[in-house]
Amino acid sequence: IWCILFLGGWLAWSGGADGPGAVIRIDLGMIDHAISTALNESDVLQKMAEEAAKKKPTTKPIKGVSGLKMKDLRPPVISLALPPGSGIFMVVLVQMTIAGKSFIGGNTAIALAANLTASSRLWQDATGIPRLSCRTRHIALVSIKTNLPSSILLKVMSKFLDSTLQKVLPGLLCPAVDAVLNLVNAKFTTMTSKIPLGTAGTLRYALLNPPVTTETFIELDLKTILHQKEGKEVDLPMDQPVASLPLKRDAAAQLILSANFLSAELCILLASFNLDISNNMVGVNWEGKGMSPLCFDSPQISRVLPPSQPMVIEMREAKAPVVTITLDKSCVQLFSTAEFRVIPSDSAPESLFVLDVHSNLEAQFAIAEEKLHLSLALQSLACVALASSSLGTFDELLLKRVLAAIVHVAYVPSINRVLRGGVPLPDLLGITYRRANLSGFEVGT
């Protein structure tokens, strides 16, 4: 099943104060695939065939035919439609043979084709899981062929329709439809399972609103429920502008992930971004040329910290990252602190100063193993400001170049290693995300 994966700003929707972290649109092809897969993975058809092979008593015998039983039940042909605002309309063509003995002697075979039409309601249960339930059913005869003489056929036809079609077939076929819907519901349930985000926390998808059905697709607005490992839920940020959803393309499922959801997902991993950087971890500068470890242009710092003095830089995230996605580029803003500590040989580490660092990073997305993978590359340091210092005040901008080298060479690669686990995507009806097309869309203001 093909999937178009869009990455966007905030997603426009109707009603409520919270917005969806993800929106998924599924078309008839995807639903048909899910039903076919459910039938193949279960024994529904086998049970139908076994039931059809049993001798079926009737309230009144059909004159001229005795010992009726059903056999040769063929796999049903299922056609689907999406009534707007409802659920799924299903037409099931069933073909079988009714066998018995004729009073004139010999075996009698009646080949029957019937349509079972069923309308189902798609709704949301209390746990946020989509559910299908059957509302109405109707069985209509499509064709009938028999080896009985035509004169006998005319006499028995009315009783056959009454006794066999209207009494035997509903009991055989309607439970099978319910079984198929239950199998699809079981596949919906997997969407809401808790998914571990490494050791940092968990992610769970659930319906935010009741499903919306149009003539071409079913739309599901999903909450993305993120919990830290301590159990605390992470709220999605609400400060980004609203965007309209791109139009759905034909013959593909469509998943749209909110940039706010991706920002919140990075929040779960913040503690894993922390890094202590020592002298020997930074051996190249921004252009990739050799440089002395942690050279400083400030004479004031150089007097306090000779080049040979061991030192560590503690990089910590101070607040939530912000993910911004447009049609042309995706960016992540990190808000960090960089604490520079000297390590004397005969005493405990001493803090020299702390810098507030605002980094702009370009984000690249890829799909692998049914997950969205994110990698970052430093574009610039938007801001470097002195937060505290034991050395007194100095021009912190003199450190911007060496700090960029630290972030580029040591800190960003460490973050990318944390991000290798990827963002698990909704497990819904067998979508194959590894074949997805990735696209961003522009956020309107």
Q: How far apart are CA 316 and CA 337, in angstroms?
A: 5
Report the pLDDT averaged over residues 388-414: 86
pLDDT score at 445: 27
Residue ending a domain, among 166, 192, 218, is 192
DSSP state string for 44-86:
HHHHHHHHHHSB---SSPPTTEEEEEEE-PPPPEEEEE--TTS
Q: Which of 376, 47, 423 is nearest to 257 (CA)?
A: 423
Same domain, 170 and 282: no
Cβ–Cβ under 8 Å, residues 191 and 427: yes
pLDDT at 5 over 90: no
Question: Rounded to two decimals, what is the model's pTM?
Answer: 0.77
CA within 13 Å, CB half, 247:
2
Same domain, 331 and 424: yes
Residue type, 21: G
Total number of domains in the chain: 2
Same domain, 273 and 165: no
- In a domain? residue 112: yes
Beta partners for residue 353, in sequence order? 340, 389
Cβ–Cβ under 8 Å, residues 117 and 93: no
Neighbours of 234 (CB within 10 A): 20
- In a domain? residue 208: no
Residue ending a domain, among 192, 209, 238, is 192
Residue type, 234: V
Q: What's the pLDDT tens digit per position in 87-100?
A: 888 888 888 887 77
Using the structure block, give the residue that is written with the tokens 């079913």: 218
- In a domain? residue 131: yes
Same domain, 150 and 268: no
Same domain, 267 and 414: yes
Strand 253-258 relative to strand 22-27, pairing: antiparallel
Using the structure block, give the residue that is written with the tokens 């202590």: 276
Q: How far apart are CA 65 and CA 105, in angstroms?
A: 10
Q: With the CA atoms of 385, 387, 392 and 397 taken in that order, what torsion angle do they form, in degrees rounded to the nearest 10? A: -10
Residue ending a domain, among 152, 174, 192, is 192
- In a domain? residue 217: no
pLDDT at 239 over 60: no
Residue type, 295: C
- In a domain? residue 444: no
Q: What's the pLDDT tens digit per position in 322-341?
A: 998 877 788 999 999 999 88
- In a domain? residue 46: yes
* Helix, strand and coil percent figures for the chain, each rounded to 5: 25, 45, 30
pLDDT bucket at 318, cuts 50 / 70 / 90: very high
Q: What are phi and psi of 51, to 5 degrees?
A: -65, -40
Q: How far apart are CA 433 and CA 422, in angstroms?
A: 13
Same domain, 186 and 96: yes
- The CATH number for 140's domain is 3.15.10.10
pLDDT bucket at 298, cuts 50 / 70 / 90: low
- In a domain? residue 65: yes
141-145, 194-198, 346-350, 441-445: segment of lowest average pLDDT: 441-445
Same domain, 188 and 266: no
Most confident among 50-59, 138-147, 337-346 (mean pLDDT): 337-346
Using the structure block, give the residue that is written with the tokens 């997305």: 365
Neighbours of 129 (CB within 10 A): 17
Q: With the CA atoms of 55, 61, 66 and 69 taken in that order, what torsion angle do they form, in degrees rounded to the nearest 10? A: -20
Same domain, 268 and 183: no
Same domain, 286 and 389: yes
58: tokens are: 């009737």
Same domain, 289 and 164: no
Secondary structure class of 274 (helix, strand, coil): coil
- List the domain range (segments joined by +) for residue 87: 27-192
pLDDT score at 412: 95
- The CATH number for 323's domain is 3.15.20.10
324: tokens are: 């911004």
Q: How far apart are CA 407 and CA 47, in angstroms?
A: 63
Most confident among 34-43, 147-156, 183-192 (mean pLDDT): 183-192
Q: Which of 4, 7, 11, 6 is nearest to 444 (CA)?
A: 11
- In a domain? residue 420: yes
Q: State the SS3 of 315-355.
A: EEEEEEEEEEECCCCEEEEEEEEEEEEECCCCCCCEEEEEE
Same domain, 188 and 336: no
pLDDT bucket at 279, cuts 50 / 70 / 90: low
Same domain, 404 and 299: yes
315: tokens are: 């990089």
Q: What are phi and psi of 300, to 5 degrees?
A: -60, -45
